[in-house]
Amino acid sequence: MNQKQVSRRIACIGVGNLGRAWAAIFARAGHEVALYDSAAGAVTAALPAIESTLAAMAEADLVGDTKAVMARIRPCETLAEALVGVDYIQESVIEDVEVKRSVFRMLDDQAPPGAVIASSVSSIPPSEFMANLKGGDRCIVAHPVNPPHLIPVVEVMLGPATSEETYESCCALLSGVGQVPVRLNKEIFGYVLNRLQFALINEALHLVDGGYVSAKDVDKIVKYGLGRRWAFMGPFETNHLNASGGIEEYYSKFQGAIGGIMKELFLEPHSLSPELISRLAKEMEQTTPVADVPVRQEWRDRQLMALTGHFGDMRPTQE
Amino acid sequence: MNQKQVSRRIACIGVGNLGRAWAAIFARAGHEVALYDSAAGAVTAALPAIESTLAAMAEADLVGDTKAVMARIRPCETLAEALVGVDYIQESVIEDVEVKRSVFRMLDDQAPPGAVIASSVSSIPPSEFMANLKGGDRCIVAHPVNPPHLIPVVEVMLGPATSEETYESCCALLSGVGQVPVRLNKEIFGYVLNRLQFALINEALHLVDGGYVSAKDVDKIVKYGLGRRWAFMGPFETNHLNASGGIEEYYSKFQGAIGGIMKELFLEPHSLSPELISRLAKEMEQTTPVADVPVRQEWRDRQLMALTGHFGDMRPTQE
């Protein structure tokens, strides 16, 4: 362990897929993890599952000494035992608003002062179970993506009373263990990742249902098309690099086609107004000024070539 | 070149980004490519650009002898010269319906009998420029994704009179050169890839415009989240592997959240009716029966670990 870093005491509450993955993530990074689940026998059953996850990660060279990692995970029989001395709690119980409410009340009552309480909740807005808590300032959403130990992003959404200090502390911990925390500024139904996912899926269902394309071919179009770019750029950077004049030129040039699709699909289609395009362009400029687009396009192509090499495809059968 | 395969004579018409990439793709695979553009000097200027693309591909070990590949590309001064003896034409002129109409009429008039005429068109429906042609049966859309020599998928859409023979011949050629052709059964505005892309982008614009998340963080959420899965699975396979009971269990279990998002966004939200879910489940079962989901989940995790290794991320800073 890096001498400058500190081992922290973390409690993982709930040992389903997410809770087990969190335990592996935190313990791998050198933190002490207390593991608790209210279902009898669940924690004992979770240990070999975590061990087998770590063994697979070790094979892929993503973890070193799995025994040392497992030694940092301590199964607990009571919630009180799990919470002793912890400074961060990751809650991953079932997705039910009543359960979340009662678990958060318990955690807030029993956790040491100052400990951050983060929820893995994937769809219930934090205001529905973090409101009216004594320690609302230390409660926050840290929503991972399945499987969390292999997908970096974590949506961090502030609850009704979350303090900036809690936000900073949560993000620092997540970044330190190798995840990528992203801030959602305001509460929104479904959060961001799933809203984006199901915007695409809804249109995919429409196209499959209408007989335009098979579900299998939708998968191919994303896997061999959109996904290859989105694996290392986001959708906006993809558009920014799709014209030498950047996103502003791209959206202006293809306004007819893009706007046409949006108008056909959405209740609130975006007009791609000059104001919005210019705001986006300004944000994209912070990372890649238009003058640097050609150089960044070369970077994009090198990334795509590396992915082609990784997947071993795009080879002619007759060279 | 593999003895069993045949070198074909191909004409690439139009030498913008797409046309140049197509020339590199076909010539790399051993085909003879005639290159033509109606703009004076364009073809001559295109040759060094193609050579530099091939040089970058050679560095990434995606092409062998770039000189031999370039030797298969023949610049032509007239359309007639480019069309002599060809059996496949890839048209990549500008995205303008009048231009496409006139170019397709010329190509159909002048191309040898039996030669397939494919268009790189990205948004104009084929019925608007392939109708009323003598050889409508040999005309087809083969829409690539930018940059085509590094992104495999090609949307193949049948025009109003396209024959199955033309479809088969076009797909065989595209597969042979390392691309992944996907069939669109019926004409639809915007085609499939861009409809999926701008369904997601429209929601991304809504979230950025509403102050929920920054454009940069949308890119992070896709790049470190959705894109990591979609780079090797499609969206439906992703959902199919997100519950041990497959896509049917997943959609039923999360119907509230998914349906809620769709209802909020779309003019025609999909109801995720039991009929539609069951149809999807049946299609997914052809590739991965529910009984095999756990094994396929392990495959997914190995793919994700390999990608983590490829990108070199998800490392704790303090192990």
What is the C-alpha to C-alpha distance for residues B315 and A317, in angstroms, rounded to an integer?
37
Kindly report the nearest CA distance between residue A20 and chain B, in angstroms.
15
Contact check, Cβ <8 Å, B218/A192: yes
For residue A303, pLDDT over 70 is answered with yes
Task: From A161, A191, A221, give the residue that closes a domain.
Answer: A191
Same structural domain, B144 and B256: no
Closest residue in A to B282 (Cα) is A215
- Whether A207 maps to a domain, the answer reads no
- Whether A156 maps to a domain, the answer reads yes
| Cα-based torsion angle of the residue sequence B177, B183, B188, B192 in order, rounded to the nearest 10 degrees | -70
Same structural domain, A238 and A91: no
Same structural domain, B134 and B269: no
Same structural domain, B142 and B242: no
For helices A246-253 and A255-265, what crossing angle results, to 10°? 70
Same structural domain, A152 and A20: yes
- Whether A83 maps to a domain, the answer reads yes
Same structural domain, B170 and B256: no
Tell me: the pLDDT tens digits for B79-115?
Answer: 999 999 999 999 999 999 999 999 999 999 999 999 9
Q: What is the pLDDT of residue B3?
A: 41
Give the residue-averaged pLDDT of B137-141: 98
Give the residue-averaged pLDDT of A258-277: 78
Give the residue-averaged pLDDT of B171-195: 95
Residues B152-162 as b or e (16 or more Cβ within 10 Å = b) = bbbbbbbbbbb
Closest residue in A to B196 (Cα) is A200
Same structural domain, A150 and A252: no
Of the partner residues B62, B153, B193, the one whose CB lies closest to the CB of residue A308 = B62
| pLDDT > 90: percent of chain B | 82
Closest residue in B to A222 (Cα) is B234
- Whether B206 maps to a domain, the answer reads no
Kindly report the nearest CA distance between residue A75 and chain B, in angstroms.
21
Tell me: the pLDDT tens digits for A218-260?
Answer: 999 999 999 999 999 999 999 999 988 999 998 888 888 888 8
Averaged pLDDT of chain B: 93
Task: From A157, A191, A225, give the residue that closes a domain.
Answer: A191
Per the structure, the complete domain to which residue A273 belongs is given by 213-311
- What is the residue whose two structure tokens read 């390392």? B178
Same structural domain, A148 and A245: no
Same structural domain, B171 and B278: no
- Whether B201 maps to a domain, the answer reads no
For residue A310, pLDDT over 50 is answered with yes
Same structural domain, A107 and A230: no
- Find chain A residues with C-beta within 8 A of B150's C-beta: 301, 304-305, 308, 314
- Whether B317 maps to a domain, the answer reads no
Q: What is the pLDDT of residue A3?
A: 41
Give the residue-averaged pLDDT of B141-151: 96
Q: What is the DSSP string of chain A?
A: --TTS---EEEEE--SHHHHHHHHHHHHTT-EEEEE-SSTTHHHHHHHHHHHHHHHHHHTTS-S-HHHHHHTEEE-SSHHHHHTT-SEEEE---S-HHHHHHHHHHHHHHSPTT-EEEE--SSS-GGGTSTT-TTGGGEEEEEE-SSTTT--EEEEEE-TT--HHHHHHHHHHHHHTT-EEEEE-S--TTHHHHHHHHHHHHHHHHHHHTTSS-HHHHHHHIIIIIHHHHTTS-HHHHHHTTSTTHHHHHHHHTHHHHHHHHHHHBSS-----HHHHHHHHHHHHHHS-GGGHHHHHHHHHHHHHHHHHHHT----TT-
Give the residue-averaged pLDDT of B142-146: 95
Tell me: the pLDDT tens digits for B18-62?
Answer: 999 999 999 999 999 999 999 999 999 999 999 999 999 999 999
Give the residue-averaged pLDDT of A94-109: 96
The tally of domains found in chain B comes to 2
- Whether A197 maps to a domain, the answer reads no
Of the partner residues A260, A307, A310, the one whose CB lies closest to the CB of residue B190 = A260
- Find chain A residues with C-beta within 8 A of B123's C-beta: 254, 256-257
Q: What is the pLDDT of residue B319?
A: 41
Band (pLDDT 50/70/90 cuts) for residue A2 is: very low
- Find chain B residues with C-beta within 8 A of A286's C-beta: 216
- Find chain A residues with C-beta within 8 A of B262's C-beta: 198, 202
Q: What ipTM is given for this predicted complex?
A: 0.94
For residue A141, pLDDT over 70 is answered with yes
- Whether B196 maps to a domain, the answer reads no
* The token pair that represents B105 in the structure block: 């009429």
Closest residue in B to A147 (Cα) is B301
Same structural domain, B128 and B217: no
Contact check, Cβ <8 Å, B150/A276: no
CA distances from A152 to A149, A207, B204, B226, B228 (A): 7, 30, 20, 10, 9
What is the C-alpha to C-alpha distance for residues A91 and A94, in angstroms, rounded to an integer?
9
> Residue B165 belongs to a domain with what CATH number?
3.40.50.720
Q: What is the pLDDT of residue A164?
A: 97
Kindly report the nearest CA distance between residue B105 and chain A, in angstroms.
24
* The token pair that represents B100 in the structure block: 């496409």
For residue B4, pLDDT over 60 is answered with no
- Find chain A residues with C-beta within 8 A of B147's C-beta: 301, 304
Give the residue-averaged pLDDT of B2-26: 88
For residue A269, pLDDT over 60 is answered with yes
- CB neighbours (10 Å) of residue B188? 18
> Sheet holding A9-13: strands in order across?
A73-75, A32-36, A9-13, A88-91, A116-119, A139-144, A153-158, A180-184
Interface test with B, best of A33, A205, A277 (most B CBs within 10 A): A205
A288 phi, psi to nearest 5 deg: -130, 95
Q: What is the pLDDT of residue A1?
A: 42
| Angle, CA B23 vertex, CA B20 and CA B27 arms, to 5° | 150
Interface test with A, best of B226, B276, B279, B317 (most A CBs within 10 A): B226
Contact check, Cβ <8 Å, A319/B219: no
Task: From A127, A158, A191, give the residue that closes a domain.
Answer: A191
- What is the residue whose two structure tokens read 């313990």? A27
Q: What is the pLDDT of residue B162?
A: 96
Phi/psi region, residue B159 (left: phi>0; alpha: psi -120 to 50; beta: rest), is beta
What is the C-alpha to C-alpha distance for residues B189 and A271, in angstroms, rounded to an integer?
18
Contact check, Cβ <8 Å, B201/A239: yes
Q: What is the pLDDT of residue B5?
A: 60
Q: What is the pLDDT of residue A260?
A: 83
Q: What is the pLDDT of residue A45?
A: 97
Residue scoring higher pLDDT (B250 or A54): A54
Of the partner residues B180, B260, B301, the one whose CB lies closest to the CB of residue A147 = B301
- Find chain A residues with C-beta within 8 A of B57's C-beta: 305
Same structural domain, B156 and B39: yes
Band (pLDDT 50/70/90 cuts) for residue A91 is: very high
Tell me: the pLDDT tens digits for A108-123?
Answer: 999 999 999 999 999 8
